[in-house]
Structure 1
Amino acid sequence: MTAIDFTCCDLLDANEALQAQGRLAVLPPLFKSYGALTRFAGPAHTLKVFEDNALVRAALEQAGAGRVLVVDGGGSLRTALVGGKLGQLAQDNGWAGLLVFGCIRDAEEINACRIGVRALNTMPQKSSKQGFGSVGAVVDIAGVKIAPGDWIYADADGVLAAAQALHA
C-alpha cells in the first residue's frame, strides 16, 4: 500500500467547511504516539470494549487492507488493550494504524513495528480475554463520534476523524 501524503494541519486548513458542518473533528490532545510510523491514515474499523482485548485480537487477525483499528476502550487506564504481539499482528496483516482510547503495553516491541499507534498511555497489566464488546458500532473517542468507514488521520500534530477521505 502506498503511503498517504498529508499533514493534519494542512487537512484542517483546507477543510474548514467540513469542520463547521461537523464532518471533520480534531480529537483532544490526549494521545501518545507509539510504533515506528508517526503518520498514518485510513478508514476506520471500530470496536467498543472495556478492559477486554479478545475482539482486538480477532480484528487484527483479519487483513487490515490499510484500515485504522479504532478501539473505544472507555478511556480505561487500568489494563492494556494492545501489546507487542498484537502490534506485530497489525503490522503483518496490513493495518495502517491503531487508535486506542485506552492503554497499550510492550511499548518497546510496538515501537519496533512498522505501524502507527495512538493510545492514552502504557500499562503493564494485561486485559481479560472474554470477548465482551461490539464490532462496527459508532464509538465515542474522547468526545468525538467515529463511525465505521470514517477516515482517521494521525501525525505529529494530532488526530483527525473525517466522514470522508480528505487527501488527494
Structure 2
Amino acid sequence: MSQSFATCDFCDVHKSDSSGAFRVLPPVFRDFGQVTQFCGPVETVKCHEDNTLVKAAVDAQGWIDTAQGRIGKVLVVDGGASLRRALLGGNLGAAAARNGWAGVVIDGCVRDSAELATQAVGIRALAPIPLPTEKRNEGQSNVPVQIQGVWVRPGDWLYADADGIVVSDKAL
C-alpha cells in the first residue's frame, strides 16, 4: 500500500501542536535507499555500535496486513548518533527490502552506500562509514527511543520525504 503525502503539509496542519503527539526530526539525515518517500508504523531498536538487533528486525516480516491492504513498517534505530560504526549495510538493506519494510531511519551510520542505493526501501542515516559493528548481542527492541532529542515510540507513525521526517502518535 503506498500513500501520497507531504511532510510540509503535515507541518502546516500541526505547527501549533504542543501536546507532543506530532514531532519533527532535525534535518541531519541523509538519504541512502532507492525509495525517497516512505511511511509506516514504527518499530524501534536501541543499540550502540552493535547491529545484532537491527539484523534480527530486518530479517523479520516488515509489514502488517490491514483492511486497507499491506502496510510496510519503519524501523527506527537509536544508535546513539555514533559516527564510529555502521549499523546497516548492503546485506541488511537487501533483507529490509526483501521482507517488506517501508523504511529504516538510523541515528547512526550505514555502509555499502552504492548497494543501499539499489535497494527498494527507504533508508535515512547520519553518514556512511566503512567500519562494521561488533556483535555483542546487546541492545533493546521496541522501547521508546530518543532520535536527535526527539522521542519516537513503537506504534508511532513516521513519514519521510524530500523535506524531512515527521512522527505522529497516530496515522495522518
TM-score scaled to structure 2, two decimals?
Answer: 0.93
% identical equivalent positions: 46
- The 4+ residue runs of structure 1 with deviation greater than 3 A are none
User: Matched residues in 2 for 1:28 and 1:16: separation?
Assistant: 15
User: Matched residues in 1 for 2:159 and 2:54: separation?
Assistant: 20
Unaligned runs of 5+ in 2: 64-71
Give the match for residue 76 of structure 2: 70
Matched, 1:56 2:54: yes
**Structure 1 residue 154 displacement after superposition:** 0.4
Of 127, 132, 135, the match for 2:133: 127
User: Matched residues in 1 for 2:145 and 2:19: separation?
Assistant: 19
Q: In the comparison of the two structures, how many residue pairs are matched? A: 164
**Structure 1 residue 16 displacement after superposition:** 3.3
User: Matched residues in 2 for 1:4 and 1:51: separation?
Assistant: 33
User: Matched residues in 1 for 2:150 and 2:169: separation?
Assistant: 12
Residues 11-63 of structure 1: per-residue CA shift (max 9 Å, x gap): 1112335x322111110111001111110000110010000001000011110
Give the match for residue 5 of structure 1: 4
TM-score scaled to structure 1, two decimals?
Answer: 0.95
Give the match for residue 30 of structure 2: 32
User: Matched residues in 1 for 2:4 and 2:14: separation?
Assistant: 16
3-state SS of 1:89 partner = helix
Give the match for residue 14 of structure 1: 13
User: Matched residues in 1 for 2:88 and 2:48: separation?
Assistant: 12
- Alignment RMSD: 0.8
